[in-house]
């Protein structure tokens, strides 16, 4: 039986690949997509999500979510930050996440109620447990759990793209999705549901190469070709600003969450441990993974390693298939 999934996205490039993986997998029953601020403003992430949903011909409701953090918007003003020169490609500035996906303008509109309210309404009324896959800041879900803690009883598991133990990205101690809203992340971490963290430690191992993009191109479907385009975009930026140990490669973080649901063995080192989020001081936004011999109470599962080749095979298998639920 397919896994019922609600996704929560800040659609730029890797979110797009994630949505297309879910949309083409017979193992995933995509119930709804919520949007949130993060890679871009929520107006852009919502527009990008709707453009992609329409391009796929997917009949799934989209709920627009929060436009900033629950408590405060963090900045790196007090942290020395290396200057990054703009990435130039074919004589033009080039970004990891475009303001708008290169797709026709959306005809679909977001639903009337906000994402957090949708979570509360849907989860209180469903008779089946649902898996949540937030791959942006956790603001919508954190707010919903504060409004209605009882909805946790209807959550099968929460598979989060976020955090890092040995790896960070937006500053020396944190990963962007958690940094953007640490209070929301802490609410989710301690909510009582099964929480699986797919952090940078795993997503950087499960990278996509230019050769993998050629495999996608050969499949020839819209999902395969557009995923190849988004991955190439990421590789160009990675090569310029943060080259990976694997040549001509990029992390495509969010899609690993869906790949894990399809085949959990894509994560090769998943440890049951205590995870919490730093909420003050220099470590604000840090994902703290307690790996002591006598840790605090275990409240989550943290992915330390992933199988790159199995990840690519999962994507290829999905992209060969028609879009589900059209």
Q: How far apart are CA 151 and CA 130, in angstroms?
A: 10
- Reported as a pLDDT band with limits 50, 70 and 90, residue 18 is very high
Residue 172, pLDDT score: 85
What average pLDDT does this structure show over 258-275? 98
Q: What percent of the chain has pLDDT over 90?
A: 81
**Three-state secondary structure readout of the chain:** CCEEEEEEECCCHHHHHHHHHHHHCCCEEEEEEEECCCCCCHHHHHHHHHHHHHHHCCCCCEEECCCCCCCCCCCCCCCCCCCCCCEEECCEEECCCCCCCCCCCCCCCCCCCCHHHHHHHHHHHCCCCEEEEECCCCHHHHHHHHHCHHHHHHEEEEEEECCCCCCCCCECCECHHHHHCHHHHHHHHCCCCCEEEECHHHHCCCEEEHHHHHHHHHHCCHHHHHHHHHHHHHHHHHHHHCCCCCCCEEECCCHHHHHHHHCHHHEEEEEEEEEEECCCHHHCCCEEEECCCCCCCCCEEEEEEECHHHHHHHHHHHHCCCCCCC
- Asked if the model's pLDDT at residue 285 lies above 80, the reply is yes
- Asked if the model's pLDDT at residue 99 lies above 90, the reply is no
Residue 82, pLDDT score: 66
Whether the CB-CB separation of 203 and 253 falls below 8 Å is answered with: yes
- CATH code reported for the domain at 3-71+85-264+309-319: 3.90.245.10
Q: Which carries the bigger pLDDT value, residue 282 or residue 261?
A: 261
- With CA atoms as reference, report the closest residue to 4 among 159, 229, 142: 159
- Asked if the model's pLDDT at residue 29 lies above 90, the reply is yes
What average pLDDT does this structure show over 87-107? 79
What average pLDDT does this structure show over 297-323? 97
Residue 80, pLDDT score: 65
For the segment 152-171, what is each residue's pLDDT rounded down to a tens digit?
A: 999 999 999 999 999 888 88
Residue 238, pLDDT score: 87
Please state the domain extents for the chain.
3-71+85-264+309-319
Q: What percent of the chain has pLDDT over 70?
A: 94
Which position has the token pair 């709707």? 50
Q: How far apart are CA 276 and CA 270, in angstroms?
A: 17
Q: How far apart are CA 184 and CA 301, in angstroms?
A: 18
Q: How far apart are CA 95 and CA 248, in angstroms?
A: 16
Q: Among all residues, which ones are annotated catalytic?
A: 253
- Asked if the model's pLDDT at residue 311 lies above 80, the reply is yes
What average pLDDT does this structure show over 31-49? 95
Per-residue CA distances from 79 to 171, 173, 270, 283, 286 (Å): 8, 11, 32, 11, 14
For the segment 53-65, what is each residue's pLDDT rounded down to a tens digit?
A: 999 999 999 999 9
Residue 46 CA, distance from chain mean position: 14
Whether the CB-CB separation of 266 and 309 falls below 8 Å is answered with: no
Lowest mean pLDDT among 20-29, 74-83, 114-123, 233-242: 74-83
- Asked if the model's pLDDT at residue 74 lies above 90, the reply is no
């Amino acid at each position: 039986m397919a896994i019922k999934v609600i996704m929560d996205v800040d659609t730029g490039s890797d979110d797009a690949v994630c949505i297309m993986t879910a949309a083409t997998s017979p193992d995933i029953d995509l119930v709804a997509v919520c949007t949130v601020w993060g890679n871009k403003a929520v107006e852009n992430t919502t527009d990008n999500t709707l453009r992609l949903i329409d391009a796929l011909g997917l009949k799934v409701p989209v709920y627009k979510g929060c436009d900033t953090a629950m408590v405060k918007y963090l900045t790196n003003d007090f942290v020395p930050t290396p200057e990054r020169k703009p990435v130039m490609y074919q004589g033009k500035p080039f970004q990891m996440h475009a303001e708008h996906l290169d797709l026709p303008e959306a005809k679909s509109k977001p639903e009337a109620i906000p994402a957090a309210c949708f979570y509360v309404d849907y989860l209180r009324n469903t008779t089946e447990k649902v898996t949540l896959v937030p791959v942006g800041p956790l603001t919508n879900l954190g707010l919903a759990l504060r409004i209605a803690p009882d909805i946790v009883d209807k959550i099968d598991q929460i598979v989060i793209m976020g955090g890092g133990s040995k790896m960070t990205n937006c500053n020396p101690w944190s990963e962007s999705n958690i940094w953007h809203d640490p209070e929301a992340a802490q609410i989710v971490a301690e909510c009582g549901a099964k929480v699986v963290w797919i952090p940078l430690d795993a997503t950087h191992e499960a990278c996509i190469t230019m050769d993998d993009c050629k495999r996608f191109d050969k499949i020839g479907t819209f999902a395969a070709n557009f995923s190849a385009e988004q991955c190439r975009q990421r590789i160009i930026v990675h090569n310029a600003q943060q080259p990976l140990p694997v040549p001509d490669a990029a992390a495509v973080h969010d899609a690993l969450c869906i790949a894990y649901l399809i085949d959990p063995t894509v994560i090769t080192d998943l440890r049951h441990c205590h995870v919490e989020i730093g909420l003050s001081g220099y470590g604000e936004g840090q994902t703290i993974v307690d790996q002591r011999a006598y840790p605090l109470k275990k409240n989550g599962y943290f992915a330390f390693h992933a199988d790159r080749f199995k990840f690519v095979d999962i994507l290829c298998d999905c992209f060969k298939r028609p879009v589900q639920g059209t």
